[in-house]
Structure 1
Amino acid sequence: MSGRPLPWPGISDDTEQTPPDGPPTDDATLRERLERAVDAVDAPDAVFAVSRHGRRTLHCGGTAAPPSVARQDLRYEIGSATKTFTGLLLAHLVQRGLLTGGESAAACLAPGRRTDTAPVTLAHLITHTAGLPGLPADFYVRALPAWRTNPYGRYPAERVTDAFLRYRPRHRPGTRWHYSNLGVAVLGHALAAATGTAWEELLAAQLLRPLGLSGTALCAEDPKTDAVGHGKDGQTPTLPFDAGGFEAAGAVRATPHDLLTFLEAHLDPAGTPCADALRAVRTPVLRRGLGHRHVHTTAWFRHPTDGGPMYFHSGATLGQQAFLGFRPDTGTALVALCTRRYRAHDPFVATAYAFLAEDPED
């Protein structure tokens, strides 16, 4: 049964493909590429994990001594790549008919509140078109005393929703794009309110358990199995990331294999519990920038390659970074993770992006 259409205009997509049945990349060549990528990242711990037509290859390394638990079995903080889970969750709730995406976020959070004539909708929040700033105006004042240790943890859920309800966008919702952690955080609280389910349980019940992501969670659970982040020097450890009221925008932590499972579901949605939603989040919904070169779906950034589109999202916490991406034209998924946060001249994102963009057969 086909799902319900999303409440924002889709863009014609004439490059959507199913993964081809071509031969896998030579193992030795792939492993050499993975080793070079891990070395280029130059982090205490690094993992590059590739799935090609469902066949997985991982390479782990780092400048630090190997941890007691194998690097490929640790859970890593993925920061803003969490938004790919949040976008898929919204699409899944829409496809199930539980929401339309056109609901007013303010009405979800404060029932009975007078609704604006042009309200910010759930769809505006996930597409960064709500007219919201990246963070609330008072975030920095509250976060400053713990800027290097726990800035988001000082801004709890009630402050996130209050900041949203008090804010008056400068532009009509839906007319301009501006990346907003605040917006996606608000979306998480709005979805929880609309469904009457706490965010952690909503995500687990609708996505994590159905997709078999048992190594994925929203908070640190065990120092032995949670990767330890490091500052820019690659030596100073950081505390586990506390997302505070921004869970939907950056709280997910997961193992490399769980993240590959997540991406493999995007490459081949058939037979998964949320197949319609997985197909929906590959559909372009807006274009921006010079020549409309930047294309976005409800969960992913989308760039062209010679063979077809690649979908990706990166993320960072105080001491870790992540890059998730997949290419339907080559049947390739990439998970890149590291335990160092770069502030400038970042080799991590550039290395991961180039790895995915490169034709695996070249």
Structure 2
Amino acid sequence: MTDTSDTTGATAVRVSAPGSRAATARILAEAARAVDAPDLVLAVSRDRVRTVHTGGSAEPGPVPRDRLAYELGSASKPYAGLLLARLVAQGRVRYEDRAADLLAPGFPVHPAVRRITLRHLVTHTSGLPGLPADFYPQAVPRWSTDPYGGYPADRVVRSFLRARRLHRPGTRWRYSNFAVSVLGHTLAAATGTPWEVLLHQQVLAPLGLEATRVRPGPDGTDAVGHRRDGTPVPALDTGGFTAAGAVRATPLDLLTFLEAHLGAAGPAQPDGGPDLRDPTLAAALAEVRSPVLRRGLRHAHTHTLTWFHHPSPYGPVLFHAGATLGQQAFLGFRPATGLAVAATATRRVHRADTFVATAYGLLTETP
């Protein structure tokens, strides 16, 4: 679940003026040439008009690449953030609720842990490390095959309740798969509903995301990841870190998810798209778009509840990327122009990789 969201290098895609779907198709084909991967999908939606490019160095299989479900890794976190925002809008939890109180009322924890709220967990300001300290001894022997599967949910919760602070909650931004995983277990405990069921009820079903799930699907429906040398890798088992990186989705479902954030789906779509008339869903989608903090040198980096938030020549962009053992994903949208970009690839990120930079360029530089 490597996060690659801030790896925004210099691969940009520029055209002189907005054009037709044919022009967009040419832009995507040009961008695809910059990415070396067995399977690649670049998908763009502009006001719900979609253009999809598929390619890659491998022979295409029986299921079209844009119909396969890809592992999102850390790009799963916007789903967790939207779920939290909707539960808040429904009055079932509050951002300032303390996670330890919801997970284990009365359990003795370090005072700093007691102060960690749901807002701290989702915004990476909890003070928790990226992963629990005792995660690595069990993960290192199988780092390239199954690092997370041996660390179940109850162990994640115990590690949180026994944690000692690194920084005072709310004072420093530090990206943390651990924190978002704890958020998932906390919301499940607070609602009495398993995370997978809760996500489906509150996010996936209302948005019409029928090809999005948190577990591998039937044979032949999931993309197969590859290492840099082309060796296939097994499907990711996230163990107890489900909320931080377990979502799998087709590129078309990713566009549907992003279109909902743009408000492009509108009320009661005749084509079966999501119905955004539910006030709690509409409020949650608006909430996760609003900037909530700044970090970095001169506070140059802005974040919403769950998205990275950058400027671009065409207005702010919101995005998140992720990588698993053998796959990558990028999700982003540009509210001012109704543009959404979803990209997936079946090759693990490496130093010379251009996938994220290419997708980011599509989002920020396409008129």
Give TM-score scaled by structure 1 length: 0.91
Aligned mate of 1:81, from 68, 71, 75:
75
Equivalent position of 1:92 in the other structure = 86
**Alpha-carbon shift at residue 176 of structure 1 (Å):** 0.6
Name which of 308, 330, 341 aligns with 1:334.
Answer: 341
1:259 aligns with 2:266: no
Distance in 2, matches of 1:105 and 1:24, equals: 47
Query: How far, CA to CA, are the matches of 1:154 and 1:222 in structure 2?
Result: 23
| Cα offsets for 1:256-282 (capped at 9, x unmatched) | 111100000000175314111000000
Shift of 1:126: 0.2
In the alignment, which residue of structure 2 is the partner of 1:120? 116
**Structure 1 counterpart SS, 2:286:** helix
Residues 1:228 and 2:228 aligned together: no
Q: Secondary structure at the match of 1:102?
A: coil
The 2-side partners of 1:306 and 1:160 are apart by: 42
Alignment of 1:298-309 (within 5 A): 298-309=305-316
Distance 1:342 1:290 in 2: 26
Q: Over residues 235-294 of structure 1, what are the superposed CA-to-partner deviations in whole Å (9 max), with x where a residue is unaligned?
A: 200000111000000000001111100000000175314111000000000001112110
Q: Which amino acid aligns with 2:333?
A: F
Contact 2:129–2:166 (Cα < 8 Å) also in 1: no
1:41 counterpart SS class: coil
Establish whether residue 105 from structure 1 lines up as the match of residue 116 from structure 2. Answer: no
Aligned to 1:139: 135
- 1:269-348 matches, within 5 Å, as 270-271=266-267, 272=276, 273=278, 274-348=281-355
Matched, 1:174 2:170: yes
Give the counterpart letter for 1:143 in structure 2.
Answer: A
State the match for 1:354 in structure 2: 361
Whole-angstrom CA distance in 1 between matches of 2:295 and 2:349:
27
The alpha carbon displacement at 1:24 in A equals: 6.2
Distance 2:30 2:158 in 1: 47
Aligned 1:38-77 pairs, distance under 5 A: 38-77=32-71
For residues 279-326 of structure 1, the C-alpha deviation after alignment (integer angstroms, 9 at most, x for no partner) is 000000000111211000011000001231100000010000000000
The amino acid of 1:286's aligned partner reads L
Paired amino acid for 2:291: P
CA contact (8 A) 2:72 2:324 kept: yes
Please say if residues 39 and 62 of structure 1, whose CA atoms lie closer than 8 Å, have aligned partners that are also in contact.
no
Residue type at the aligned position of 1:217: R
* Contact in 2 for aligned 1:313/1:324 (Cα 8 Å): yes
Secondary structure of the 1:302 match is strand
The yes-or-no answer on 1:186 pairing with 2:182 is: yes
Give the 5 Å matches for 1:1-20: none
Equivalent residue letter for 2:340: A
Runs of 5+ consecutive residues of structure 1 not aligned to the other structure: 1-22
Q: Which one is further off, 239-248 or 267-276?
A: 267-276
Following TM superposition, the consecutive aligned residue runs of length 4 or more in structure 1 with deviations greater than 6 angstroms are none
SS of 1:285's equivalent in the other structure is strand
- Contact 1:46 1:336 (8 Å CA) reproduced: yes
Q: TM-score, normalised by structure 2?
A: 0.89
Give 1:346 deviation, angstroms.
Answer: 1.8
Q: RMSD in angstroms over aligned alpha carbons? A: 1.4
Equivalent in the alignment of 2:10? none
Q: 1:218 aligns with which of 214, 219, 224?
A: 214
> 2: distance between equivalents of 1:207 and 1:24?
32
Output the CA distance in 1 between the equivalents of 2:335 and 2:18: 14
Q: CA deviation at 1:111?
A: 1.6
User: 1:359 is matched by which residue type in structure 2?
Assistant: T
Quote the Cα distance in structure 1 between the aligned partners of 2:219 and 2:325: 17
**Structure 2: which amino acid aligns with 1:247?**
T
Structure 2 distance, partners of 1:78, 1:114, is 35
How many pairs does the alignment contain?
Answer: 337
Give the Å deviation of 1:133. Answer: 0.4
- After superposition, the C-alpha distances for 1:59-90 in whole angstroms (9 at most, x for unaligned) are 10010000110001000001000000000000
Look up the SS of the partner of 1:325 in the other structure: strand
Q: Give the gaps of 5 or more residues in structure 2.
A: 1-16, 268-275
Displacement of 1:154: 1.1
